[in-house]
Amino acid sequence: MASSIKNQNDYERAKTAYITGNYEEAASIIEKLAESSPSDPEILLLRGHIYCYFQEFDQAREQYNLVIENTDSAEYIDCANSGLETVRQWLDAPFRDDSIDEPTEASEFPFGDLSEDEITAISALDDDDDDEPLTNLKDTGFSPSQNLDSTHRQVATEISNSQRTNLDDDDPDTAKASPPTPTAEETNANQALFTTSNQEGAGLFSSTASQQGTNDLSFDGEGESNEPIVEQEQGLLAFLDQVSLAKKQQILADAVGVASAVVVALGSFGISSFGENQPGFFGNLVKSSALGLVGGVGSGAVTWVMGGLVVKQVKRSTGDLQAQLYAVQQGNLQAKATVYSQDEFGQLATGFNQMTRVVSTTTKEAQRKAQEQEQAKEDLQRQVIRLLDDVEGVARGDLTVQAEVSADVLGAVADAFNLTIRNLRTIVQQVKEAARQVNEGAAESSSFARGLSEDALRQAEELAVSLNSSQMMTESIQRVADNAKEAESVARTASETALKGGEAVDSTVAGILQIRETVAQSTRKVKRLAESSQEISKIVSVISQIATRTNNLALNASIEAARAGEAGRGFAVIADEVRQLADRSSKSLREIEKIVLQIQSETSFVMIAMEEGTQQVIEGTERAEQAKNALEDIIQASNRIDSLVESITADTVEQSKTAQSVAQVMQSVEMTAQGTSQESQQVSTALQNLVSLAGDLLASVERFRVNPEDELKS
């Protein structure tokens, strides 16, 4: 196999391309694989097949030899030997060079008169189910239709290519046969190279390689010449029968032209000799008409005669070929076409005769191989029946039977069967001995397990009594521990409460001190507020004076404007508005003055109240300090009580844990004893089952007969 996953994928691509007929792609891929894996037998084998297809037989032989050198696989070696045999056959073939390098003459000229039915009749030969000699070949696994299909398609392809040749081709000698395209049969043959045996693979490969050369290679199986040999008397016109259709066309044209010229010349001479007394215009008209009529009649007569000769020859050849093809279609593979000439029809008849000989030979060979395979199958059936008779006793348990070892195909099978029976006989004897030993050992172990179960059960009962006493002591210790924990909890709660009280007193003292500071600051701010209100009173007094003066000025301005008459009317309006504004300002100032006086009065009362509050705060601070000192004494006493209770609780808890551990150990021992008792009972039951199974196994192997003197038990 290829050395890597990539190489394996490339190899599968090359193999697929080869099977589907893409030989250039397969060659390109396999060359790259050969560079990376030069000793892989699979790659070398496919490379040899591709070289064979391109007829590079020396390189193909080298690849096949490398396969044999680089592998021990019988399958690869068989395929390589098959390829070497194919190369040898090709190199030894006497017709190889001429038949491959030169195009067939059958593709040079057309056969325009063949009908479609005549062409398809050849390819329909392999579909005739009434051919009795071939009906029994399906059962043997060999089908000759593959080779027949290849031959028939070659003939049909050759005829079809001939029909498509242009009748007006000026140089038919340069015509070349088109390269063959891979058919379904060729693809199947390529696939068979990887799956068939040695002989079948060689045959398929030879068929594939033969198709690569030229289409008429199948007709040269006996090394005969492709030149047609005339079998009928040809008469005076033999020269016309021997030339090709293109030459016949040229001869016919030349004959018609010469005949027309002669007839026109004779007509002209006759008219010129007998028409001298005719008038000018009428005489020319008569001369022209007479010349045309004489030339047309002469050309038509010659064309009819020459065409009749050609049509007669074509009908004779095609009729005979049609009759012989119909005979082949009906199953007569001995049909033979008559060769009337050496032209394309003669070559076609010769090729048809060679085809029927190849088909007949292939059919006979297929029948012979089918008979050989049928005989081999019957021989194999007889050998199998004899082997089954020899080994029939094994089905009844008789292991002393021996199959007869012969030199035929099944001799190795019989020998392998005898070896298998000997090994099986040894195994059965060992199983018998092991079953006896297991039976005895299981019985002893079952007795021991029962005794162990009884001892474990008694020990579990004694431990149950001790466990009850231990549990009672544990419960008492647990109650003491619970009481100690409760006392510890109460003492800790008192201590925590005292601590909280101390913290509350500290917070209270801090709050009172902060209140004292706040009251002092408030007193100072109130004093500053009183001072500010006095300043505001002064400012309001000044503003009141300004408003009074403004009012007076506005009044004077109004008087002066009234004196001015119409010219001062606008100024009078402004002066009146200023006066009104001064009046409103005076009113607002009076209200502000009242408010400021009220603030000053209330500020004095606040200052007195804050001084009294400051004195009370000082007294509260002293009382809080006294409460704090008392709480500190309580906390110290609570901490002492908590320490003592904690010590008692720790000792009690330790005793409780110790008692619980002892109880758990005793309970675990009891459970272990009970589990041991139950497991011992299970072991005893399992051993009893094992004794039963050992007995059944011993009874089963006793059915086999391993010694010739033993009697076979039913």
Name the residue with higher pLDDT: 343 or 66: 66
Identify the pLDDT of residue 103: 36
Q: How far apart are CA 200 and CA 196, in angstroms?
A: 6
Q: Are 339 and 347 in contact (CB under 8 A)?
A: no
Closest of 514, 487, 504 to residue 638, by C-alpha:
487
Phi and psi at residue 237, to the nearest 5°: -95, 35
Q: How far apart are CA 600 and CA 319, in angstroms?
A: 153
Identify the pLDDT of residue 408: 66
Q: Are 317 and 112 in contact (CB under 8 A)?
A: no
Whether the pLDDT of residue 409 is over 70: the answer is no
How far is C-alpha 26 from the chain's CA centre?
24
Stretch among 12-16, 35-39, 268-272, 632-636 having the lowest mean pLDDT: 268-272
Closest of 485, 504, 503, 502 to residue 642, by C-alpha:
485
Identify the pLDDT of residue 52: 85
Q: Which domains does the chain have, with CATH numbers?
A: 1-92+179-213 (1.25.40.10), 107-142+159-177+230-390 (no CATH), 411-701 (1.10.287.950)
SS3 call for 137: coil
Averaged over 356-366, what is the pLDDT?
Answer: 84
What pLDDT digit, counting tens, does each position of 650-682 carry? 777 777 777 777 777 777 777 777 777 777 777
Averaged over 263-274, what is the pLDDT?
Answer: 62
Q: Are 651 and 469 in contact (CB under 8 A)?
A: no
For residue 570, the tally of other CB atoms under 10 A from its CB is 11
The pLDDT mean for the chain works out to 69
- Distances, alpha carbon 226 to alpha carbons 334, 337, 351, 603, in Å: 19, 14, 7, 149
Q: Are 166 and 103 in contact (CB under 8 A)?
A: no
- CB within 8 A of 46, min separation 6: which ones? 11, 14, 15, 18, 26, 30
Q: Are 354 and 219 in contact (CB under 8 A)?
A: yes
Partners of 398 in the beta sheet? 705
What pLDDT digit, counting tens, does each position of 298-349 carry? 667 777 776 777 777 777 778 887 888 888 888 787 788 888 777 777 778 8
Identify the pLDDT of residue 242: 61
Whether the pLDDT of residue 201 is over 60: the answer is no
Percent of the chain with pLDDT over 70: 67
What pLDDT digit, counting tens, does each position of 523-549 carry? 777 777 777 777 887 787 788 788 787
Name the residue with higher pLDDT: 317 or 200: 317
Identify the pLDDT of residue 267: 63
Identify the pLDDT of residue 284: 59
For residue 239, the tally of other CB atoms under 10 A from its CB is 10
Averaged over 422-435, what is the pLDDT?
Answer: 79
Alpha-carbon torsion, ordered 487, 493, 494, 495, to 10 deg: 110
> Model-level pTM?
0.28
Averaged over 478-503, what is the pLDDT?
Answer: 74
Averaged over 70-82, what is the pLDDT?
Answer: 86
Q: How far apart are CA 449 and CA 660, in angstroms?
A: 33
Q: Grade residue 283 by pLDDT with cuts at 50, 70 and 90.
A: low
- CB within 8 A of 613, min separation 6: which ones? 519
What per-residue string of b and e applies to 386-401 under the rule 16 or more CB within 10 Å gives b? ebeebbebbeebbbbe
State the first-to-last Cα distance of the chain, in angstroms, to the nearest integer: 53
Percent of the chain with pLDDT over 90: 0
Residue type, 613: G
- CB within 8 A of 45, min separation 6: which ones? 63, 64, 67, 76, 79, 80, 83
Q: Are 699 and 431 in contact (CB under 8 A)?
A: no
Averaged over 77-93, what is the pLDDT?
Answer: 83
DSSP state of 403: P
Identify the pLDDT of residue 247: 66
Q: Are 150 and 122 in contact (CB under 8 A)?
A: no
Partners of 705 in the beta sheet? 398
- Distances, alpha carbon 167 to alpha carbons 110, 256, 343, 572, in Å: 7, 19, 15, 136
Residue 525, CA atoms < 13 Å, CB-side half-sphere = 7
Residue type, 52: C
Stretch among 230-239, 295-304, 687-696, 699-708 having the lowest mean pLDDT: 230-239
What pLDDT digit, counting tens, does each position of 132-186 carry? 333 333 333 333 333 334 433 443 344 334 333 333 333 333 333 333 334 444 4
SS3 call for 705: strand
